[in-house]
Structure 1
């Protein structure tokens, strides 16, 4: 196995299964985790395993003895793909990627979940001969109804998240924080940039200003609001 990533809770490995003749990913919890952190790690698998959408990364089996699970292999992170192809992506191609991201989060929210760690590194891309397919990954911070794993002491994470959460507390995270981070991701998809200063397209500027508005009552209140506004860009 080849180590390809390491986070707060787990190490991520890539390996080739000789029977299926294809690559898979193994995510293994770190040995020093507390019982609560192990429970959060296992919940990440359970949430992804319960979801059924072409826009959610597939997971296959959980090994409780080693606290690890297997999931499908993807070709790129969104960050890698946009960075590598930014000079030749058309606006039509960018919009197709954005529309899939909207569908992914529309489905996730329909299940009562908030991702809470939205970034171009946690959205993955599978490249086929005739299409790109995006999938959401990294559900370690997912917020689900009646969960006891989110407390007032939960650390602020997610580099696309609303910085106001640092003061307000990560336990206050709601749909308006989700649409904030998602606005930043969509802007990145359309432009390849994260700097939101000097946006020349007035429709895109209006979209970004609404999504990131300091007045939360003026932000996008759900994904459907975002989709409607996106159509004018």
Structure 2
């Protein structure tokens, strides 16, 4: 990214990477309209992540995009959960964007995102069981927290889960609520959002949906952290694998191609992973609940909700 692409954040000395006591260290990520930078206070060494619009006042952002940006800032500022990224007050010295859209200041997570962790050679067959357990307990808690506040994330994927260590303890944190939606009284939506590979079927087909879309996405990510890849024909695009997956039975949690190109369905995950067989069996049963194609039956079984079932699994010795 060249200097001309950056919005005006320059100080009186003309250096756009210095603002008061703050210094911009690096770009943490970019999207269609936004960019997140890491700033550090040169006196206190305090880091802070600042998300701002990449474009100026004359940018051709549609009213819908502007509304989505403002909604994300509004939602983030009122959430407080240890596994949802914390919104902070924007330091006055940094609150000088040339864009009229609000800045979003957040805590900085030095561990990077879950996709980066997947990329390490030792995790090619999934994460260690200890990390899988921590991930499930924390991220399920975060998603349940959002749902209780009538918020759907709608874009759960490895890139939107950050890692942080506090006092030697690993924490997973949900980020990027740019696609989040506060449920109205009807609790039903139809807009097309999110990342295609992790999109729930009803979202992909632009059908009516509710918070159960997050169950599907979390199910996909859970399978991926255990064995290292998504469950349904991961080498194919959504347009290719969805027609096959929509015909699957409720018990099917993975579909794969053999060496002859034939598609197989299975109720079991690959045995090449780093979790115990007993734990794997419990999670396979749970994934049947999460990866149910029908959104009306997804997320519950025999009158019990998915997150309650998961808590029982994780509490077992």
Q: TM-score range by the shorter chain?
A: 0.7 to 0.9
Q: What is the aligned counterpart of 1:77 among 102, 109, 113? A: 113
Contact 1:115 1:142 in 2 (8 A): yes
The Cα shift of 1:118 comes to 0.6
The Cα offsets for residues 34-66 of structure 1, whole Å up to 9 and x where unpaired, read as 333222212111111101111111122355863
Q: Aligned residue for 2:172?
A: 134
CA distance in 2 between counterparts of 1:151 and 1:218 reads 17
- Structure 1 residue 23: deviation in Å? 2.4
Q: How many residues align?
A: 228
Q: 1:225 Cα deviation (Å)? A: 4.4
In structure 2, the CA distance between the partners of 1:187 and 1:77, relative to structure 1 (3 Å rule), is same
Which structure dedicates a bigger proportion of its chain to helix? 1
Question: Post-superposition, which runs of at least 4 consecutive aligned residues in structure 1 deviate over 6 A?
Answer: none
CA distance in 2 between counterparts of 1:164 and 1:46 reads: 27
How far apart in 2 are the matches of 1:161 and 1:229? 27
Does the 8 A contact of 2:224 with 2:230 survive in 1? yes
Matches within 5 A, 1:1-233: 1=24, 2-31=26-55, 32=59, 33-61=61-89, 63=95, 66=99, 67=101, 68-75=103-110, 76-84=112-120, 86=123, 89-146=127-184, 152=190, 154-158=191-195, 159-169=197-207, 172-195=208-231, 196-197=254-255, 199=269, 200=271, 201-221=280-300, 222-228=305-311, 230-231=313-314
Distance 2:182 2:297 in 1: 25
- Of the two, which has the highest radius of gyration? 2
Does the 8 Å contact 2:189/2:209 carry over to 1?
no
- Note the residue ranges of structure 2 that are not aligned, 5 or more in a row: 1-23, 232-253, 256-267, 272-279
Which whole-Å CA distance do the structure 1 matches of 2:32 and 2:192 have between them?
12
Structure with bigger RCO (C-alpha 8 Å, 6+ apart) = 1
| Mapped partners of 1:226, 1:83: distance in 2 | 30
